[in-house]
Amino acid sequence: MTDWLMAAKSQKKDYLEDLTALMKIKSVRDDSAATDKYPLGPGPSQALAAFLEMAEQDGFRTKNIDNVVGYAEWGEGDETLAILAHLDVMPAGKGWNTDPFDPVIKNGNLYGRGASDDKGPGMACYYALKYLKDQGVAFNKRVRFIVGTDEESNWTGMHRYFEVEPAPTLGFSPDAEFPVINGEKGQVSLKLSVPAGNGDQYVLQSFHSGLRFNMVPREAVAIITVPNKEQVETAFTQFIDDNPISGQVTETAAGLQLNVIGKAAHGMEPEQGINAGTYLATFLDQYDFAAGAKSFIHFLAKYLHLDSRMKGFDGAYTDPVMGELTMNCGILNFDQENGGNIDMNFRFPKGITPDELETMVKKVTDQLGISVKQGPAQAPHYVDPTDPIVKVLMDAYIHQTGDQDAQPEVVGGGTYGRLMKRGVAFGALMPQTPNTMHQANEYQPVDDLIKSMAIYMEAINNLVTD
CA distance 273 to 129: 42
Q: Which one is catalytic: 88, 150, 175, 442?
A: 88
Q: Judged by CB, which is closer to Zn ion: 85, or 329?
A: 85
Helix (H, G, I), strand (E, B) or coil at 262: coil
Active-site residue flag, 88: yes
Q: Residue 437 CB, nearest distance to Zn ion (Å)?
A: 5
Rounded alpha-carbon distances, angstroms, from residue 78 to 84, 143, 309: 19, 11, 45
Helix (H, G, I), strand (E, B) or coil at 114: coil
Instruction: Write out the residues near Zn ion by the rule CB under 5 A.
Output: 117-118, 175
Handedness of CA 452, 456, 457, 459 (dihedral sign): positive
Q: Judged by CB, which is closer to Zn ion: 179, or 247?
A: 179
Angle, vertex CA 250, rays to CA 247 and CA 252, nearest 5:
145
Q: Which DSSP helix (H) or strand (E) runs through 127? A: helix 119-134
Active-site residue flag, 233: no
Nearest to 445 by CA among 111, 179, 175: 111
Q: Residue 460 CB, nearest distance to Zn ion (Å)?
A: 20
Q: Residue 413 CB, nearest distance to Zn ion (Å)?
A: 13
Q: Which one is catalytic: 18, 151, 177, 343?
A: 151
Cβ atoms of residues 427 and 121 within 8 Å: yes
Q: Judged by CB, which is closer to Zn ion: 118, or 319?
A: 118
138: Cβ contacts below 8 Å, ≥ 6 apart: 465
Helix (H, G, I), strand (E, B) or coil at 339: strand
Q: Judged by CB, which is closer to Zn ion: 232, or 428?
A: 428
Question: Looking at this protein, which amino acid is placed at residue 267?
Answer: G
Q: Residue 189 CB, nearest distance to Zn ion (Å)?
A: 21
Q: Residue 114 CB, nearest distance to Zn ion (Å)?
A: 9
Q: How far is CA 277 from the centre of its chain?
A: 23
Q: Judged by CB, which is closer to Zn ion: 29, or 144?
A: 29
Beta bridge partners of 63: 71
Question: Which residue numbers are catalytic?
Answer: 88, 151
